[in-house]
Amino acid sequence: MTSYRISQLAERSGVPATTLRFYEDAGLLLADRTPAGYRVYGEDAVERLAFISSAKLLGLALEEIRELLDVREEGVCASVRARMLPLVAARIAETDGRVAELRAFSDRLAAVHADLSGPAPAGACGPDCGCTTTAAPGPVPVQLSRARPEPDTEAWRRAPVACTLGGTELGERTEQWRTLSGKAERRETIPDGLRLVFPVGADLAAEVAALAAAEQSCCAFFDFTLYLTADALHLDVRAPESAAGMLADLFGVIA
């Protein structure tokens, strides 16, 4: 029977060892111990990890994945499908809500862009010059976390600092963030993180929101807030102190 040490399973599956330990602690992955105390995983671990990764790509929560794994252990595919159907339907509804929210936000950006593209009035700014938006007071946040009756806005502080991406996926995601960060006109430090400021006419709202939502699905310890002001699109990124290194890897260090 094939067995893997944690380093061997990480190499075989492309999932970092830190994430394997997190999965074990969360009850998603089973491990035995050698007399010396080393973790040993069974031959089904690779297939189990593939199922977990697939479920994560669907946006399923860890507790939902754990329940699916329990059903999957029964060995009846029809039972797994029956449990997955309502979960996927719920994700579709949530995604449709996000799309509608982003479309409304994009429409507002387009309206501001159109106002700013017109002829500027002579002299200083005034209430009707277009530099100050009045469609909605203050910033317009785009919610990137799942809707809940009473949202836990501090959940990211308690989330395990572990990423479910590995190998090629992790490299691609890092490159996506670095490319997007390069389009920011400036970066600023904020408590617990940083702020990327993009020009309002850059048509980046949908791209920024989609990437932030994807990142939050695999790294729940990141907190993202996207909002519009009169002259810029802002993305605030926060993370626990223990994730400062990962924050710097994705977005660079602000001097």
At 128 the pLDDT is 74
Q: Taken in order 161, 164, 170, 174, is the CA torsion positive or negative?
A: negative
Q: How confident is the model at residue 154 (pLDDT cuts 50, 70, 90)?
A: confident
Residue 202: pLDDT over 60: no
| Phi, psi angles (nearest 5°) of residue 8 | -70, -40
Q: Examine the pLDDT at 223 and tell me if it is beyond 50.
A: yes
> What percent of the chain stands above pLDDT 90?
7
**What are the structural domain ranges in the chain?**
4-75, 95-118+125-251
pLDDT of amino acid 153: 63
Q: Domain 4-75 classified CATH 1.10.1660.10?
A: yes
* pLDDT at 10 (0 to 100): 87
**Per-residue pLDDT tens digits for 35-50:** 888 888 888 888 999 8
Q: Pick the range with the lowest mean pLDDT from 1-10, 96-105, 109-118, 148-157.
A: 148-157
Task: Tell me: pLDDT of 239 over 80.
Answer: yes
Backbone angles phi, psi at 186, to 5 degrees: -165, 160
| pLDDT at residue 16 in the model | 84
H-assigned helices in the chain? 6-13, 17-25, 45-57, 62-72, 77-117, 155-158, 167-181, 205-218, 244-251
Residue linked to tokens 């031959």: 43
Give the tens place of pLDDT for each residue, 121-144. Answer: 788 887 777 776 654 444 445 555
DSSP category for residue 219: -
Mean pLDDT of 92-116: 79
How much is the pTM? 0.51
What whole-number distance in Å separates Cα of residue 221 and Cα of residue 72?
Answer: 28
Q: How many Å separate Cα 29 from the centre of its chain?
A: 22
What is the Cβ-side half-sphere exposure of residue 81, based on CA atoms within 13 angstroms? 3
Structure-block tokens of residue 62: 């860890």
State the Cα–Cα distance between residues 103 and 209, nearest whole angstrom.
11
68-89 residue pLDDT tens: 999 998 989 999 899 899 888 8
What pLDDT sits at residue 105?
A: 79
What local confidence, expressed as pLDDT, does residue 137 receive?
42
Long-range contacts of 209-216 (CB under 8 A, 24+ apart): 209/98, 209/102, 209/105, 209/142, 209/144, 211/176, 211/177, 211/180, 212/144, 212/237, 213/98, 213/144, 214/173, 215/173, 215/177, 216/144, 216/145
Tens digits of residue pLDDT in 158-181: 777 777 776 677 778 888 888 888
